[in-house]
Structures are given as structure tokens and as C-alpha cells.
Structure 1
Amino acid sequence: MRLDEYVTFDGTGLAQLLAKGEVTPRELGFCVEQAVEAMNPTLNAVIELYPDALKALPETASDGPFHGIPTLTKDFPIEAGRPAEFGSRLAQGFRASVDAVYWKRLREGGLVNVGRTTSSEFGVPATTESPLYGATRNPWDPARGVAGSSGGAAAAVAAGIVPFAQGSDGGGSIRNPASFCGLIGLKPSRGRVTGAPNSNAPLLGLSTAFMLTRSVRDTAALLDLCHGPDAGDGYEIAPPEGTYLEAMQRAPKELCIALCTQSWSGTPIDPEVAAAARSAAERLASLGHHVEEASPSFGYAAFLEAQKIIWAADAAADMPAMAKQMDRNLEDTLGATVVGLYRWGLGLSAAQLIDALAVYDQLTRQVGRFLAGYDLLLTPTATIVPEPIGTFDPNRAGIDADGVFDDLAPKETFTALFNATGQPAISLPLGRSQAGLPIGIQLVARFGREDLLLAVARQLEEELGSGPGIWGQGQPVVHAGNF
């Protein structure tokens, strides 16, 4: 298979070719190698490929619905024995000790991990520009960034290196890179994808793992493979009725959708972003849905303070543990952003953490009551278009915890709330700036309603997907199809 042919298929399309014997997993691995060789010098999205995994790719389709498709995972602990350095000099050389349960399910479904992608340091900074690996660049304009923290995954998928890649989302870290790179980025409901064996849901319930994709059918099929609790999980989310692939095909009718383009944080919204959100609302109205302007009512300042406390408490616990395990001096090896958050976390009390969690409980009720009156909420994903590399330098001297979250505000204004409250949210490639940069639009559903998000996303995809590229966007400047 030629590289220019490979990039025209999503994962489902490649799986169909594998099932027919028209291509082999080893051939697909060679395409991945070619694409990385051609584009990674510009993008800096892939840290490394695993020669043993590529060599082991078979000459015939393997088991599972994806039949041996090679993919990439984030620089976090996912697969036992693989490097997991969190984009940090502190963790350099660290390896995952166990398989993540959801990853085992994906691997059993035919996915093969052949390498790892860049992340912001420990998933904290607003941009994928780490002290360990440097800046990851946007395939649509290499002078611009890819947001964080699953930035390398987004760049690799957008550039055609792989049809989908693994990421994680603790405040928007799947949705914002998807927005900046013109992809589909789903953050499932809390508990939909287990954090086992290490937790029920990581980061005190804020974070979840999943995949960045180029098609809704891939998103649905991947969620079908990996969702569900593991034995011993502290709670279990209600399973879907049927499969997500089936749900995707049921076109929804006459949904009641709330449109919000008013910044909850006070961070200004780029006019092109606001216009893209309104255009998406108009498109949904043209499909027969009812759209009206409305917003959940909550105290953003209290929410933000609670988020700072939870993130900082997590840093204060995890960074010394990593330093001890790696036998390194913490402050000599961490970047300035993570140091600033860690130092603030050291001064927190147990009572402050309990109070922060209580704020999140209240927010969950407020947002739940709001969504009881609507099927969906539509917002921008980020308040800005992709910014030039270096705009939010995560390693600048003197940055403190407030500065960390000031940097995050343009990306997290609309996304982080739903990590707090647990509802599923998805970023869809529905907008373009005048300069041709992608603009993602976020849809949020009631708790546990990934099925509805996927059905609406598919409805939109059918309207927009006839042109070249993802949803008719055309191809990025840096793309494997150009080589």
C-alpha cells in the first residue's frame, strides 16, 4: 500500500482491507514508519517508534475488529514495559509496570501500539511544549501549537501518520488538541472508560483516557471495545443500550440544544470562534433541531479555585513519589509550570481538598439540572484559534499556580467544567478561521449519553464529509498524503 493511499482510510476502512486480505498489518506498519520519517522532523509529534512492535506485525490480519492496525499511545503509563516519561526530565527512563485495562481491551480488539507521542509535562501546561522533547507543531501551520496535553496524538492523526491515537483528558486534553488539529475528540462520561488497575477514574475523577480520531464510526467502534468497569471499581456507570456503532446510525430528531458563546471565565472569545459556534448552531437548526441561547448558572471563580486545589494536591502527592522512584531532585528536573503548581500544592490542607471536592459536587448538581432541560449544550471548544509556538511558554521563570491557570484559561474555559461534573463532551471539526486554521465546536450531553453525542456527530459528518479531508476541511499543510 502506498502512503498516499493509506491516508485516505480511517481505521474502519483499513480494518475492512485487512479482513479482505488486501493489505497486511506489516504493510500498514511500513506506512507508519514512512509517515513518521517524512513528517516528524517538522511536527515533533512522535517521540519514538518501537522496532520490536513493528517487526512483530503479522503478514495476515489478526483477531478483533481492527485486525492488527498499528497506532500510537501518549507518553503516559499505558502498556506494560513501554516508556512513560510524561514529557518530563523527572520521569526520564520511567516505564509502565502494568497494562491499563482499557488498553488491554483495545489491544484484544486488534490495535497494536507501535510508538508513543508527545505530551505537555505531566499533562499540566496549556501547550505541548515540554522541557524533555520541545515543541510539537500543528500540521495546519507548523508555526502554531497543538494545545495540550494530548498534542502529539492530535498532530499525528491530523497529519495522517495513524488513523487514530490514544490520549487522555483531565481538563480538555483530548478536546483541545482535537479542536486545534481538526479532529474528533470525545471525552467520555466519568467511569465510562475505567482507570484500572490504578484507579477508578484518575485525578480524583477528573481525568479519563480515550482516542482522537478522524471519523465518528472509528470513535464509536473504539468506545464499544474499551468501555465498561473493571472488577473492583468503586462505582459502575450504566452500560449503553446496544452498541455505540448502532446508536451512531440512529439520526436524532428535534433535539433541544442550548447554545452558549458567553465566556464563563471572562477570557475573551475570538470573533471567528464565536462565529463558528453560531454557524454550527445554525447547521443543527437546519437539521430540524431547536436551538436557543442558554447557559448553566454556576460560580466560575469557585469552580476554578477548586480545580487549582485538586490539581495542585495531586502534584504535591505525585511529584515527590516520582522523584524518589527515579532518584532525582524534583525541582532541578521539573519544568517551571509543574514546579509552580507543586509548590502551591505543598501549602494546601486536607480541609481545603475536601472543600474543593464539595464545590465539585455542587457543580455536578447545577449542571445536571441545567442539562435536564436540554438534550445538548453547544459551546466553542477553545476560546482561541491555535496560537503561535511560545505564546504560553510553560518553562518561563517565575510562573506560579495562578499563572498556570491563566495560561490554561483560553483552552479550558468551556472544557474543564465537564471534567468536574463528569458529563460526556465531544469536540467536532465544524469551523475554520480565515487563515484556514481548524476551530472545534464542543457538544455536551447528559451523563452517560455518549450515544446521543455520537448520533449527532454522525448526522453532522454525513452533511459535511463529502469533500476532501476530515469533514471536508481539506488536507493540512504537513500531511502524509503529500509524500
Structure 2
Amino acid sequence: MRLDEYAAHDGTGLARLLAKGEVTPRQLGRCVEEAVAAVNPALNAVIELYPDALEGLPETASAGPFGGIPTLTKDFPIEAGRPAEFGSRLAEGFRAGHDAVYWARLRAGGLVNAGRTTSSEFGVPAATESPLYGATRNPWNPERGVAGSSGGAAAAVASGIVPFAQGSDGGGSIRNPAAFCGLIGLKPSRGRVTGSPNGNAPLLGLATAFMLTRSVRDTAALLDLCHGPDAGDGYEIAPPAGSYLYAITRAPKGLRIALCTRSWSGVEIDPEVAAATRSAAERLASSGHHIEEASPDFDYPAFLHAQKVIWAADAAASMPAMAKRMGRTPEAALGASVYALYRRGLAVSGAQLIAALSAYDRVTRQIGRFLARYDLLLTPTSAILPEPIGTFDPNRAGIDADGVFDDLAPKETFTALFNATGQPAISLPLGRSRDGLPIGVQLVARFGREDLLLAAARQIEEEMESAPGIWGQGRPAVHVGNF
């Protein structure tokens, strides 16, 4: 299989070729190796491939709907025994001690973990420019960034290395890289994808893992495979009424959609981003949906203060254990942004943490009541276009914890709220800048309604399938199909 043939298929398409015997998992593994050799020197998206995983790929399709497709996972603990260095010198050499339960489900569905992708340090900065591996570059313009923290995953999928890749999202870390690289990025509802064998959801419930994809059908099929609680979870989200693959076959009608292009943080929204969001609203209106300009009413400064407290407390709780295990000190091994957050966390009291969680409870109720009046909320994903590498250098001297969040604001103004409140949110590739850079638009649904979110996304996707590339975008400048 030639690289251009390989990269023309999403995961579902490759699975069908596997099922018919037209290609083998071993051949797909060779495509991944060739693809990494072709484009990774320009992108720095893939840290390494696993020779044992690639050599172990069979000559016939394996069990499960994805039949042995190799994919890539983020530089976090996901699969037992694999490196998980968090993009940090503090964790250099660390290996995952166990499988994530959701990953074991995906593996049983036929996915093979063939290597790992770059991340921002400990997933904190929204720029994948880590002290350990340097900057990851955007396939559409290598002078631009890929956001974070799942930036390597986004660059790998957009450039055609793999049809989809694993990521995680604690404030926008799936959605913003998807927006910057022209992909589909779903953050499921809290609890939809279990965080077991640790907590239900990492980062005190703010974070969840899932995949960045090129197609809605892949997103639906992957969620069908990995959703659901694990024994011992402290709470269980209501299961979907049916499969997500079935849900996307039923086009929604007459949805009530709130359109918001008002910046909650006060960060200026790039005019091209605002225009793309309004264009998406017009597209939805042309499909028979009802658009109303509206914004949830909540106290953004109080929300942001609570976010700072929770993230800082989490850093203060986790860094000493990693430092002790690896025989290093946070002072010597952490990059400037993460060290600043860790230092802030050392001063957080128990009372402050409880107050922050209470603030999140209030905003969760406010957002829930707002969404009770609408089926979907439409916003920009990021307030800005992909920025030049180094614009938000997370390792610059003198940055403090407030500066960390100032750097995050242009990308997380519209995304981090839904990590706090738990609703599902998806970034869709619905715009291009004058310079050809992707623009993502975010849809948010009520808690637990991934089915509606995916059905609406599929309805849009159907209108764009005839044009080349992902959602008619064409091919990035750095793409395996060029080799």
C-alpha cells in the first residue's frame, strides 16, 4: 500500500480493507513507519515507535472492529510498561505501571499502540513545546504551533501518520489541537470514559481521555468501544440509549442552538475565528435548525480563580511523588510554567480547595440551566489562529502561575468551562483563515448527550465529503501523501 493510498482512508475505511483481506496489519505498520520517516523530521510529533508492537502485527486481521490498526498514544501513562514521560525532565524514564481501562477496551477492539506522541509538560501549557522534546509543528504551516496538550497526536493525524490518535483533555487539550490542525476532537461527558484504575476522572474530575480523528464515524465507533464505567467507579453516567454509530445515521431536525461569540474571558477573538463561527451557524440554520444568539451567564473571574486553585493543588500533590520515584527535584527538573503552578499549589489550603470546588458546583448548575433551554451551544474552539512557535513559550524565565493562565486564555476561553461542568463538547474543522490555517468551531450538548453532538456533526460532515481532504480542507503542506 502506497502512503497516499493509506492516508486517504480513515480508520473505518482501513478496517474494511483489513476485513476483506486487501491489506494486512503488518502492511499498515510499515505504512506508519514510512510515514513517520517522511514527515516527523519536519513536525516533531512522534517521540518513538515501538519495534515490538510493529513486529508483532499479524498478517491477517485481528479480532475487533478495527482489526489490528496501529495507532499512537500520548506521552502519558496509558499502556502498562510503555514510557510515559509527560514531556518533562522530571519524569524522564518513567513507565506506566498498568493499562488504562478505556485503553484496554480499545485494544480489545483491534487497536495496536505503535508509539507515543509529544505533549506539553504534564499537560499544563496549551503549547506543545516541552522541555524534554522541544516544539511540535503544525502540518499546515510548520512555523505555527499545534496548541496542547495533545499536540503531537493532532499533528500525527493531520499529517496522515495514523487515522486517529489518543489524547486527553483537562481544559481543551483535545479540542484545541484538533482546531489548530483541522481535525475532529471530542471531549466526552465526565464519566463517559472511565479514568480507572485510578479515579473516575483525573484532575479532580476535570480531565478525560479520548481520541482525535478525521471522521465522525471513527469518533462514534471509538466511543462505542471504550465508553462506560469500571467496577468500583464512584459514580456512573447513564449509558446511551443505543450505539453512537447508530446515532449518527439519524439526522437531527429543528434543533435549538445558542450561538455565542462573546469572549467570556475578555480575550479578543480573532475576526476570522468569529466569522467562521457565524458561518457555521448559517450552515446549521440552512439545515433547518434554529439559531439564537445567547450566552450563559456566569462569573468568569470566580471560575478562573477556582481553576487556578484546582490545577495548582493537583500539581502540588503529584509532583513530589514523581520526583521521589525518579530521584529528582521539582526545582531542578520542571520547566518554568509547571514549576510556577507547582509552587502556587504548595500554598493552597484545604479550605481554598473546597471553596474552589464549590465555585465549580455553582457554575455547573448555571451552565446546566442554560443548556436546558437549548439543544446545543455553538462557540469558537480557540479565540485565536495557530500562533507562531514560541509565542507562548512555556519555559520562559520569570513566568508565574497567573502568567500560565494568561497564556492559556486565548485557547481555553471557550473550552475549559466544560471540563469544569462536565458537558460533552466537540471541535469541528469548519473554517480556514486567509493564510490557509484551520479554524475549529465548538459544539456543546447537555450532559450525557454525545449522541446528539455526534449526529449534528455528522449532518454537517455529509455536506462536505465530496471535496478532498478532511471536511473538504485539502491536504496540509506536510503530509504523507506528498511522499
Which category describes the TM-score, using the shorter chain as reference length? over 0.9
Structure 1 runs, 4 residues or longer, greater than 6 Å off: none
Q: Cα distance, 1:299 vs. partner?
A: 0.4
Equivalent residue letter for 1:74: K
Deviations 1:40-89 (A, max 9, x none): 10000000000000000000000000000000000000000000000000
Equivalent residue letter for 2:342: Y
Equivalent residue letter for 1:401: A
Q: 2:297 and 2:466 mapped to 1: Cα distance?
A: 38
Q: Indicate the SS of the match to 2:463.
A: helix
Q: Indicate the SS of the match to 2:179.
A: helix
Equivalent residue runs for 1:109-120 within 5 Å: 109-120=109-120
Q: Cα distance, 1:465 vs. partner?
A: 1.8
Q: Cα distance, 1:329 vs. partner?
A: 1.6
In structure 1, the residue matched to 2:66 is 66
In structure 2, the residue matched to 1:331 is 331
Equivalent residue letter for 2:16: Q
Q: 2:283 and 2:465 mapped to 1: Cα distance?
A: 14
Deviations 1:152-194 (A, max 9, x none): 0000000000000000000000000000000000000000000
Q: 1:464 and 1:277 mapped to 2: Cα distance?
A: 16
Equivalent residue runs for 1:79-478 within 5 Å: 79-478=79-478
Q: 2:379 and 2:75 mapped to 1: Cα distance?
A: 29
Q: 1:123 and 1:49 mapped to 2: Cα distance?
A: 21
Q: 2:396 and 2:121 mapped to 1: Cα distance?
A: 14
Q: Indicate the SS of the match to 1:307.
A: helix
Deviations 1:190-238 (A, max 9, x none): 0000000011111000000000000000000000000000000000000
1:12 aligns with 2:12: yes
Q: Indicate the SS of the match to 1:114.
A: strand
Q: Indicate the SS of the match to 1:40.
A: helix
Q: 2:248 and 2:168 mapped to 1: Cα distance?
A: 22
Q: 2:244 and 2:125 mapped to 1: Cα distance?
A: 33
Q: Indicate the SS of the match to 1:465.
A: coil
Structure 2-normalised TM-score?
Answer: 1.00
Q: 2:290 and 2:463 mapped to 1: Cα distance?
A: 18
Q: Cα distance, 1:271 vs. partner?
A: 0.2
Q: Indicate the SS of the match to 1:464.
A: coil
Q: 2:322 and 2:272 mapped to 1: Cα distance?
A: 42
Identity score, percent: 83
Q: 1:205 and 1:405 mapped to 2: Cα distance?
A: 19
Q: Cα distance, 1:464 vs. partner?
A: 1.2
Q: 1:44 and 1:340 mapped to 2: Cα distance?
A: 26
Equivalent residue letter for 1:295: S
Q: 2:347 and 2:70 mapped to 1: Cα distance?
A: 44
Q: 1:160 and 1:236 mapped to 2: Cα distance?
A: 36
Deviations 1:286-336 (A, max 9, x none): 000000100000000000000000000000000111000101121111000
Count of residue correspondences: 483
Q: 2:237 and 2:126 mapped to 1: Cα distance?
A: 30
Equivalent residue letter for 1:135: A
Equivalent residue letter for 2:311: W
Q: 1:297 and 1:464 mapped to 2: Cα distance?
A: 34
Query: For structure 2, which runs of at least 5 residues remain unmatched after alignment?
Result: none
Q: Cα distance, 1:425 vs. partner?
A: 0.1
* Cα root mean square deviation, aligned: 0.3
Q: Indicate the SS of the match to 1:288.
A: coil
In structure 1, the residue matched to 2:38 is 38
Q: 2:359 and 2:96 mapped to 1: Cα distance?
A: 33
